[in-house]
Structure 1
């Protein structure tokens, strides 16, 4: 009986991540399809000619459209349109702030030279002898750095189990413990609430 129970729980450990992954991927594909496909004229949809719909069509359309926008943005005509669009947005007080913040965040994350979210660190927070995992997002600059007069580092401290929310904290670089684990492994540790502990890489 104990062997059957052991096999059963082993089966759960094997099947659960696979089933949840398939479910999340399928739910995302369905969400994008429901959002994008209705915008396509009926006569241009494969389901108009076929007796079934093609899952993932919305993702394909989004990928092609995003690639086209990227190509357009690298040309003179595209850059002119972007400047015109940004000039219009900059005249709208609330919209201007939101657009500017989102653009700066994306540019920081997407930049290949950026240190954003590329280093996991251990910080003593919220008090002595209590430690938390954070992610370095870059060196502290601007007014914050000028008022502190120290070499400070921006650290994003995510919450569990939702790492998209969290706190932006400024730490002296000397107070940080830089971890060897990858950002991906550190995120797994945070999201799982400490249940998924990454294996430490042995130095050769």
Structure 2
């Protein structure tokens, strides 16, 4: 009797704690941004030795970033970023790192010049375990996939698999990323995804 009551209390405690999880995530993000802002403020204040000048500089940086984002959203490119791209392309070794980082950034923000990125399902890391993956390249029947990890979709694994071992789905990059970040809680198009997995499980594949 007592053991059952203790188990219920632990379950209620667990459910109650989980109900605060979204709030905790928001507070952590806000605290992270606050720490970055305060760190930048104190560093600038040390250099300028003026509170007014520091605040104006930070407002200027924020305004520049907002303007940059607006320019990219409206025109699809930025003269400033194009100039930076050309500059880094001329620096050996650094150009490779910058180019790869730029492609990943474009993919995650939906600004990839190669078009809309395809999302597929693939059995990874073993048969019977399905994960969403982003198609990066295709050549001669082979797919280059990026398999993101939860809850951070910017980290993961790059794998090469045969094209016939992937299952295409209509998930967008944003929907797949939301699924990964929420650790499966935001399960959009669940009927389509589960039907595809069941179908792949009974369909012979060469």
Deviations 1:50-91 (A, max 9, x none): xxxxxxx96x6554222334578899xx73x66655454333
Q: Could you state the TM-score of these two structures normalised by the residue count of structure 2?
A: 0.59
Partner of 1:136: 134
After TM superposition, give the deviation of residue 187 of structure 1 in Å: 0.4
C-alpha separation in 1, matches of 2:143 and 2:11? 48
Q: 198, 201, 204: which one pairs with 2:187?
A: 198
C-alpha separation in 2, matches of 1:180 and 1:84? 36
Partner of 2:116: 115
Return 5+ residue gaps in structure 2 as ranges. 193-206
After TM superposition, give the deviation of residue 135 of structure 1 in Å: 1.7
Q: Check if 1:183 corresponds to 2:176.
A: yes
- The 1:186–1:101 alpha-carbon spacing in structure 2 relative to 1, beyond 3 Å, is same
- Number of equivalences: 175
After TM superposition, give the deviation of residue 45 of structure 1 in Å: 4.8
Question: Considering only aligned residues, what root-mean-square deviation do their CA atoms show, in Å?
Answer: 4.2
- The 1:8–1:102 alpha-carbon spacing in structure 2 relative to 1, beyond 3 Å, is closer
**1:71-82 maps to which residues of 2 (within 5 A)?**
79=79
After TM superposition, give the deviation of residue 175 of structure 1 in Å: 1.8
Question: Equivalent residue of 1:154, what SS?
Answer: strand
- The 1:89–1:39 alpha-carbon spacing in structure 2 relative to 1, beyond 3 Å, is same
Relative to total residues, which structure has the larger helix share, 1 or 2? 2
- The 1:104–1:160 alpha-carbon spacing in structure 2 relative to 1, beyond 3 Å, is closer
Partner of 2:16: 11
Q: Check if 1:97 corresponds to 2:96.
A: yes
C-alpha separation in 2, matches of 1:175 and 1:168? 15
Q: Is the 8 A contact 1:137 1:156 kept in 2?
A: yes
Q: Is the 8 A contact 1:163 1:187 kept in 2?
A: yes
